[in-house]
């Protein structure tokens, strides 16, 4: 297992370097000038102001020098200063990350739990009305784009029915809890403010469900297919021949052996959900990494763009490593591959 972990860790720095390099090159190839966002349109006609801004942010140097300088600072832990916020990118990311993590973790739990339940129901009642309804629900979740479902659910459940709160992490004129973890739900409980926890939880549910619906559909289809394959295995016929109840056969044998592929899906889904929450955060006015990435892209904020890309790469690689470790623990054949 130690050699397995070391092999995975050895390639992480190279992957991150490649990721940062690609993001750096693509951002520099954009047909726009970030100086306009830095100094404003009115100051673009003033050559002295423009030149001073280029020198201040190092944009007067050629691309190779900028790249070498950025990598050098990055090795010391300096991700640069945002053109827009004028704050360190690392500080901006640390401030925004808890909001995205809170949303993503709940979405992952919803997708994994309810996706597994739907898959079990579909497999145990194959070709029934329940099975068909669950499969349609899963197909819709996997097919519909999140921006459409997000807007639709906001319109129906907030604007029309009024059963869920509107966009944002908290209601208007409600102060955020004292910062401890950055998770409003946890911080509200730590401060003993139950009404604030209820408000934060209510705001969290709808965007988390929208983000989780696609994962729910993927997992339910995977569990259903795996369980149907297991149901035709020889060991299942042997267990049934011993007179064990069908519910025990499904729970103790079929489901347990069908969940192994789900580990891979859940592990990779965490990184995908975390960095794929851009549209959900925009729709629900969620002040997280996704909205920060959109703001950085709009203003060609090079340091922020590279910082978000690097953070996403680190999270995805760590999630991939954790998935490999869990999968290797479950299946020793993986360690020998």
For tokens 């992480």, the residue is 12
DSSP-assigned letters across all residues of 166-200 = -SSSS-TT-PPPPPSSS-HHHHHHHTT-HHHHHHH
What is the crossing angle of helices 12-29 and 2-10, to 10°? 20
Q: What is the pLDDT of residue 100?
A: 92
- Domain boundaries defined on the chain: 32-78, 92-334
Give ∠ CA 324-327-332 in degrees, rounded to 5: 110
Please tell me the predicted confidence (pLDDT) of residue 183. 92
pLDDT string in tens for the chain (337-residue length): 677 677 777 888 888 888 888 888 887 777 777 787 777 767 777 888 888 888 888 777 888 888 888 888 888 888 888 888 888 999 999 999 999 999 999 999 999 899 888 888 888 888 888 888 988 988 888 888 888 899 999 999 999 998 889 888 998 888 989 989 989 999 999 999 999 999 999 999 999 999 999 888 888 888 888 888 877 777 777 877 777 777 777 777 777 777 777 777 887 788 778 777 888 988 998 988 888 888 888 888 888 888 888 888 888 888 877 777 777 666 655 555 5
pLDDT at 200: 93
Using an 8 Å Cβ cutoff, are 316 and 325 in contact? Answer: no
Q: Long-range contact list for 76-79, CB < 8 A, 24+ apart?
A: 79/303, 79/306, 79/307, 79/310
Q: Could you tell me the two tokens for 84?
A: 């827009």
pLDDT in the model for residue 334:
54
Helices 89-124 and 289-298: crossing angle in degrees, nearest 10, is 120
Residue 208: per-residue pLDDT:
93
CB 151 within 8 Å of CB 131: no
Partner residues linked to 81 by β-bridges:
88
Residue 203 burial (10 A CB sphere; 0-12, 13-18, 19+): buried
* Residue 100 to residues 103, 108, 171, 220, Cα–Cα distance (Å): 5, 12, 18, 24
For residue 252 the two structure tokens come to 């103790």
pTM of the complete model beyond 0.85? no
Q: Check residue 332 and give its pLDDT.
A: 58
| Highest CATH level, class, for 92-334 | mainly alpha
Cross-strand pairs, 28: none
């Amino acid at each position: 297992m130690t050699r397995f972990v070391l092999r995975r860790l050895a390639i992480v720095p190279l992957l991150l370097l490649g990721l940062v390099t690609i993001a750096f090159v693509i951002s520099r190839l954009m047909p726009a000038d970030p100086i306009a966002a830095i100094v404003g349109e009115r100051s673009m006609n003033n050559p002295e102001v423009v030149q001073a801004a280029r020198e201040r942010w190092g944009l007067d140097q050629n691309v190779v020098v900028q790249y070498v300088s950025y990598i050098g600072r990055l090795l010391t832990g300096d991700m640069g200063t945002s053109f827009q916020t004028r704050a360190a990118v690392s500080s901006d990311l640390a401030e925004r990350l808890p909001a995205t993590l809170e949303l993503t973790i709940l979405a992952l739990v919803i997708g994994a739990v309810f996706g597994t339940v739907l898959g079990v129901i579909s497999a145990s009642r194959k070709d029934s009305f329940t099975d068909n309804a669950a499969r349609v629900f899963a197909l819709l979740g996997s097919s519909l784009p999140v921006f459409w479902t997000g807007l639709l659910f906001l319109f129906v459940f907030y604007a029309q029915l009024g059963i869920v709160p509107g966009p944002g992490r908290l209601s208007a004129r409600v102060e955020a809890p004292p910062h401890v973890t950055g998770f409003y739900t946890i911080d509200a409980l730590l401060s003993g403010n139950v009404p604030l926890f209820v408000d934060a939880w209510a705001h969290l549910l709808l965007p988390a469900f929208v983000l989780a619906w696609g994962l729910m559909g993927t997992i339910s289809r995977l569990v259903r297919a795996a369980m149907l394959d297991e149901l035709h295995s020889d060991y299942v016929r042997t267990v049934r021949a011993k007179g064990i109840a069908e519910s025990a056969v499904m729970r103790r044998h079929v489901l347990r052996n069908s969940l192994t592929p789900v580990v891979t899906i859940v592990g990779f889904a965490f990184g995908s959900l975390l960095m794929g929450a851009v549209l959900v955060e925009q729709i629900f006015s969620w002040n997280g990494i996704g909205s920060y990435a959109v703001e950085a892209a709009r203003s060609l904020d090079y340091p922020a763009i590279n910082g978000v890309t690097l953070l996403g790469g680190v999270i995805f690689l760590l999630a991939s490593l954790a998935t490999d470790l869990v999968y290797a623990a479950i299946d020793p054949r993986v360690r020998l591959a």
